């Protein structure tokens, strides 16, 4: 048992679409009224407390469950990567959210792995798998689900050093969050109490892309304006022609 508590914790929620990332965030922050089914399109940081621990929690958009990162929209990938810079100096843990009511096969593992690796090589040491929809397990334990679901999920859990936790976002039950926080604390302790160091190069690349996109938008806008102006000029001159006749 670890007695030490962390005064400040930076956490990033990751996972494929609709697995319950935003809901896990709400459950951690103790927000019960949940807006159902609103898709997260951008990474956002939220703040709150769990006990005495001050938490910065970054929610991210999800990727399609069966798509490898190569096939995911650039905009989604950039948002996922940007999440690391929304909780400076870096996240202590990544919570990789998986829905425990669905199947998890090799193609899903491929999707998870390729997306996680967008963040850098060291992510796995900082990752805890969070299974959602614990309410769908019925009498089964999460271990039975992992066992029964097969190789893909087992190797994912192993890749994350067997760090996992199951949550039912529909239940107001504080112990599931206290236990999650304990597992997070073990993870952080296991990493020498240090956070993950995001690669500055990724940040610069995203910044550069955003700058270019904005510049392109500005250019297009000024072209449209110029065109409108010249059109107005033609209309005016033609109306002068009309009135002078």
**Which residues sit at the interface with ligand GTP, rule CB under 6 A?**
15, 17-23, 34, 36-37, 39-40, 61-62, 132-135, 168-170
- Residue with Cβ nearer Mg ion (21 or 115): 21
203 contacts: CB under 8 Å, gap ≥ 6:
84, 85
Q: Please confirm whether the linkage preceding 89 is cis (ω < 30° from 0).
A: yes
DSSP string, 85-127: GSSTT--SEEEEEEETTS---HHHHHHHHHHHTTS-GGGGGGE
22 sits near Mg ion (criterion: CB under 5 A):
yes
Q: Which stretch binds Mg ion (CB under 5 A): 35-43, 105-113, 154-162, 203-211?
A: 35-43
Residues 196 and 88: their CA atoms lie apart, in Å, by 10
Phi, psi of 63 (to 5 degrees): -95, 165
Minimum Å distance from CB 59 to Mg ion?
6
* Residue nearer to Mg ion on the CB measure, 15 or 91: 15
Backbone angles phi, psi at 8, to 5 degrees: -135, 135
Smaller CB separation from ligand GTP, 109 or 161: 109
**Minimal distance, residue 4 CB to Mg ion, in Å:** 31
Shortest CB 2 distance to Mg ion, Å: 30
187 three-class SS: helix
CB of 22 to Mg ion, least distance (A): 3
Q: Which residues bind Mg ion (CB under 5 A)?
A: 21-22, 40
């Amino acid at each position: 048992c670890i007695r030490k508590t962390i005064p400040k914790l930076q956490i990033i929620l990751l996972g494929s679409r609709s697995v319950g990332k935003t809901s896990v965030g709400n459950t951690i922050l103790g927000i019960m009224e949940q807006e159902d089914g609103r898709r997260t399109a951008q990474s956002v940081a939220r703040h709150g407390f769990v006990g005495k621990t001050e938490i910065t929690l970054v929610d991210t958009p999800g990727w399609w469950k069966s798509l490898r990162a190569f096939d995911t929209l650039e905009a989604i990938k950039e948002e996922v990567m940007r999440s690391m810079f929304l909780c400076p100096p870096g996240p202590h843990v990544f919570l990789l959210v998986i829905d425990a009511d669905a199947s998890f096969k090799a193609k899903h593992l491929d999707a998870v792995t390729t997306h996680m690796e967008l963040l850098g090589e060291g992510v796995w040491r900082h990752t805890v798998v969070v299974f959602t929809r614990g309410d769908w397990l019925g009498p089964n334990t999460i271990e039975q689900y992992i066992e029964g679901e097969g190789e893909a999920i087992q190797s994912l859990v192993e890749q994350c050093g067997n760090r996992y936790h199951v949550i039912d976002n529909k239940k107001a039950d504080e112990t599931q969050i206290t236990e999650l926080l304990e597992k997070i604390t073990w993870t952080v302790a296991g990493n020498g109490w240090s956070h993950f160091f995001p690669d500055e190069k990724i940040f610069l690349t995203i910044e550069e892309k955003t700058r270019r996109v904005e510049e392109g938008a500005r250019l297009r806008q000024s072209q449209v304006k110029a065109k409108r102006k010249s059109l107005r000029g033609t209309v005016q001159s033609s109306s002068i022609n009309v009135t002078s006749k």
